[in-house]
Amino acid sequence: MKIICVGRNYVKHIEELGNSIPDEPVIFMKPKSALQAPNANFWYPSFSNELHYEAELVLRICKNGKNISKKNAHHYIDKITVGLDFTARDIQQQLKEKGLPWEKAKAWDNSASIGEWKDFSKYKNPVHFQLFMNDVLVQDGNSSHMMYDFATIVSHVSEYFSLNIGDLIFTGTPSGVGECVIGDVLTGILENEKVFELEIK
């Protein structure tokens, strides 16, 4: 199983971080060890002083495939949920300034958390999702605001990497990302249904 992530997929998020708009999907990966175990505590990483939440729609791949066409991409997705792509923003900024890869800031152990899986076929585009921190709405996302939709992402990724059963695709975060600290409680909502609640320890 591998975790594939899409960066810079919402224009307002690109603008809030001052990044340039890409002309194709920005892809990075996290190792299997980045996936937090279900119901496990999330511990604030000792190497960071600026931990940021990034809520995203997450897709689960159900068939092996390579060079998948956009029109067939939906056949390769069976589940959807909301997940968190945690980022050590201070470490990321240091690495970016040096022109170095971001893995230390994005792919550390337990840096990816996902909610309860829901059947993908039950959701029609656009898909709405939200993130609350301490009961306050901080991110309000909608798949219609993606620069690259689900089919485009699956097709593009499969040009470079074979997709396998159980692979996860984080599809990018909308605007509203921000810092979280020990004691904060993050709640993920998919179409008005809670799919996770996580406390920063």
Q: How far apart are CA 168 and CA 2, in angstroms?
A: 6
Domains (range + CATH), the chain: 3-199 (3.90.850.10)
Q: How far apart are CA 168 and CA 180, in angstroms?
A: 24
Q: How far apart are CA 119 and CA 3, in angstroms?
A: 19
What is the pTM assigned to this prediction? 0.95
Could you read off the pLDDT of 123-155 as tens digits, one per residue? 988 999 999 999 999 999 999 999 999 999 999
Which H or E run contains 94? helix 89-97
Could you read off the pLDDT of 49-101 as tens digits, one per residue? 999 999 999 999 999 999 999 999 999 999 999 999 999 999 999 999 999 99
